[in-house]
Amino acid sequence: MAYIYKRGKTWRAKVSWYDLTGKRRFKTKQGFATKSQARKWANEMEVAKDENKISDQDPVFAEYFKDWYTTYKIPGTSNNTKNRYKHIYELLQKYFGKTKISKITRHNYQDFLNKYGEDHSKNTVYKTNGSIRSCIADAVSDGLIRKNFAQRIKLTWNKERTRKIDYLNFKQVQELKKSLLNGIKPSYISRYMLLTIIYTGMRPGEIRVLTWKDIDFKNQTIHITKSWDYDQQKLINYDSDDINKETKNHSSTRIIKVDQKLLDILSDLKENNHERLFIGKDGTIPTSSAVNKVLRKHLKKLGIVKPGFHFHSLRHTHVAMLLFQHVDLYSISKRLGHSNMSITASTYAYMLDELKQQSDQQIVNILDKI
């Protein structure tokens, strides 16, 4: 039963209920200008009671976010993910201080994002907002607040800081492939790994743990079921129920079609007599640093100046080749092992913009011929 009363010039509303232990709880809100406003809030709380979405707690916003991510998001994730949540917590702590979650408005949150977006990229702003919005949605479910103030927010970002994915053009890929194949032998494991990512677009971690059983030479396919977690230094089976990665989940398990040329190249590695392809006769697998060193050496020899280019960049290059040959986004997304096309589209937005510009020009050229 709600209790509505006036104190001074404003109205207050108070509701009570019994929790699961039988203890009576109270929730009060003050500062209503009219009695009808207080009654409206009280009615909403009565509905919340029926839906078991009410709480007498009102934690500090930043502290609630910390408790939320350590409880629901951190277990089983990489250090990079842990650090990202910790960074968001520090941002909320700095901007909102000791402000209670019930006191945060959509206007407050929009102002926070506007300031944050001034010196951050589009991808960073989207990820940060996405994490906070999920947290606030749970706060609504927990009955701490009635509305998600992170909804209907306009995202802004610093275009100059928005990273453009670096990739090689088709001619550069051909030159790199030729250079890697020149004098290649089974002991040059890093070269074979680089050629594999060029032809397949697989993640570096997936390449590292590839076995001969994963390759179907007759049907020219590779079955991808696992990856190496460089951060936690352990093998990840995609089919395991323990998977808790934002972009690497059960959809990462896939079968991709490959070229016979690549299969012929990889066949040389059978000479090393290992279950895994990319282990040398000494029993070691090249580290990412070692592979990157070989890549930079060949790029330098070819006169290709790309300071930040690395092993994973060749995955982006593989995508670029497919996109600019007009392979549809759905097929590319499945080949990459993304859980949905929106991930592919957001990751390769820069390439898609370039492709759109080319298509726009093609349309203009066609119209000019009318």
CATH assignment at residue 89 = 1.10.150.130
**Sign of torsion, CA 306 312 316 321?**
positive
Task: Tell whether 30 and 67 lie within a shared domain.
Answer: no
Domain that holds residue 224: 170-362
Instruction: State how far the Cα of 158 lies from the Cα of 116, in Å rounded to an integer.
Output: 9
Q: Mention every residue, 6+ apart, whose C-beta is less than 8 A from residue 296.
A: 309
Has residue 145 been placed in a domain? yes
- For residues 355 and 253, state if they share a domain: yes
Q: Dmax over Cα atoms in the chain, in whole Å?
A: 89
Q: Based on the domain organization, do 197 and 273 belong to the same domain? A: yes
Domain end, chosen from 126, 161, 196, is at: 161
* Same domain as 155, residue 195: no
User: How many structural domains are present in the chain?
Assistant: 3
Question: Is 197 a member of any domain?
Answer: yes
Burial 69-104 (b: 16+ CB within 10 A, else e): beeebeeebbeebbebbeebbebbbebbeeebbeeb
Same domain, 138 and 240: no
Contact status, residue 132 vs residue 62, Cβ threshold 8 Å: no
Residue that is last in its domain, among 161, 194, 217: 161
Written as tens digits, the pLDDT of the chain (370 aa) is 688 888 888 998 888 877 777 778 777 888 889 989 888 878 887 777 776 666 667 889 999 899 899 988 887 777 788 899 999 999 999 999 999 898 899 999 999 999 999 999 888 898 999 999 999 998 888 788 888 999 999 999 988 776 667 888 889 999 999 999 999 999 999 999 999 999 999 999 999 999 999 999 999 999 999 988 776 677 888 766 544 444 345 678 999 999 999 999 999 999 999 999 999 888 889 999 999 999 999 999 999 999 889 999 999 999 988 988 888 989 999 999 988 888 888 778 777 777 766 666 766 675 666 5
Query: Is residue 88 one of the residues assigned to a domain?
Result: yes
Q: Which residues pair with 100 in a beta bridge?
A: 60
- Residue at 259 is within a domain: yes
Q: Domain check: are 70 and 212 in the same one?
A: no
Collapsed DSSP state (helix, strand, coil) of residue 312:
coil
Q: Give the residue from 14, 29, 50 where a domain finishes.
A: 50
Token pair of 291, please?
């592979």
What residues does 221 pair with on adjacent strands? 216, 257
Could you tell me if 125 and 73 lie in one domain? yes
Same domain, 292 and 189: yes
C-alpha–C-alpha distance, residues 65 and 46, integer Å: 26
Looking at the structure, tell me whether residues 142 and 180 fall in a common domain. no
